């Protein structure tokens, strides 16, 4: 398995064998062996994680044989989200296509694109209500609410939402309590700063270990608040306080973020893809699909995408050919 980075491994006292192929010049993957009992013992050194050591160890040791990757379709009830094709304020027909082809539908009423500004709470609430109502008309579909505001979650509870998708990583204690009291799934994302300032904070000494450290710390807080391990999903936050090199390092080492919790990646049509294909004006769907298939093959549990139907076709075709 991939375990953090050379710096983190040295700090932890591991003597592992470097293998070529790590991300970036002078970097390596590392190989080492721990059996189930040894791994459980390491995990049990933390007083909060100890209670879950068996489940975490099982997930780490079998991360390459997990179940199907779920498709999270994006519905932005905003006029300014970075991809215009995901704006559904006045497009119920477009929303239906997302709803019918997603395993989870992620609804947001406030843009978090780089440089975006906050909107009043009452405006955000009013924006998401129409989408939530429409989704519930289709029945028992998993709903994720993309918000950093507990007040918006409280207003959405009547629609039986299933997840809170919090780009601030549940740093608000009221959000943690809401998730615990209402038995909601928690999508914990890494970000520095705020959406309006985050691109000023893209410099890291060791991006993999720093993001893992943040996510594991937040997961620890949620477990301590009584939220079940199975309700926690970690998201390294592609594009949130990361430049092109940082995004690529995270993707190349994506298994480093599978440290006992389900994983989510939101890469769809983002600017790093324009840089990757060498044309920021080009349509980014084909490259997004390529990244999605890579993530599926690396065991990522949920991908958050703008084009769920295309992904449904992609996964169905790939599975048919590889079964």
By annotation, the residues acting in catalysis are 270, 304
d(CA 244, CA 273): 9
Are 9 and 30 within 8 A, CB to CB?
yes
For the chain, the farthest-separated pair of C-alpha atoms sits apart, in whole angstroms, at: 57
- CA gap 57, 39 in Å, rounded: 6
Beta carbons of 98 and 134 less than 8 angstroms apart: no
3-state helix, strand, coil in the chain (%, to 5): 45, 15, 40
HSE, side-chain direction, 13 A CA sphere, residue 196: 5
Measure the N-to-C terminal CA separation of the chain; round to a whole number of Å.
24
Q: Which two tokens stand for residue 179?
A: 């998730």
Is there a contact between 226 and 180 (Cβ–Cβ < 8 Å)?
A: yes
Residues with Cβ within 8 Å of residue 14, at least 6 apart in sequence: 3, 30, 32
Strand runs labelled E in 26-138: 29-31, 70-76, 104-108
């Amino acid at each position: 398995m991939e375990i953090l980075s050379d710096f983190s491994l040295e700090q932890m006292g591991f003597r592992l064998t470097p293998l070529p192929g790590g991300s970036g010049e002078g970097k390596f993957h590392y190989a080492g062996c721990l059996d189930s009992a040894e791994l459980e013992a390491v995990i049990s050194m933390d007083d909060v994680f100890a209670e879950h050591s068996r489940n975490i160890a099982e997930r780490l040791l079998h991360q390459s044989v997990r179940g199907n990757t779920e498709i999270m379709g994006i519905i932005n009830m905003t006029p300014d989200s970075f991809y215009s094709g995901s704006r559904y304020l006045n497009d119920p027909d477009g929303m239906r296509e997302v709803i019918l082809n997603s395993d989870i539908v992620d609804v947001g009423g406030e843009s978090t694109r780089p440089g975006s500004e906050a909107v009043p709470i009452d405006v955000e609430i009013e924006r998401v209500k129409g989408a939530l109502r429409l989704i519930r008309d289709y029945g028992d579909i998993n709903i994720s609410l993309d918000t950093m505001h507990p007040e918006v979650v409280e207003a959405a509870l009547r629609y039986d939402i299933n997840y809170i998708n919090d780009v601030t990583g549940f740093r608000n204690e009221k959000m943690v309590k809401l998730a615990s009291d209402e038995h909601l799934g928690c999508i914990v994302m890494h970000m520095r700063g705020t959406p309006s300032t985050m691109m000023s904070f893209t410099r890291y000494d060791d991006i993999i270990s720093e993001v893992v450290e943040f996510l594991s710390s937040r997961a620890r807080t949620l477990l301590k608040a009584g939220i079940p391990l199975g309700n926690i999903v970690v998201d390294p936050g592609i594009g949130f306080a990361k430049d092109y090199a940082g995004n690529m390092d995270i993707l190349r080492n994506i298994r480093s973020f599978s440290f006992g919790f389900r994983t989510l990646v939101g890469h769809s049509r983002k600017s790093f893809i324009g840089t990757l294909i060498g044309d920021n004006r080009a349509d980014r769907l084909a490259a997004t699909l390529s990244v999605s298939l890579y993530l599926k093959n690396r065991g990522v549990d949920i991908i958050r995408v703008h084009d769920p139907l295309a992904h449904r076709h992609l996964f169905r075709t790939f599975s048919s050919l590889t079964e």
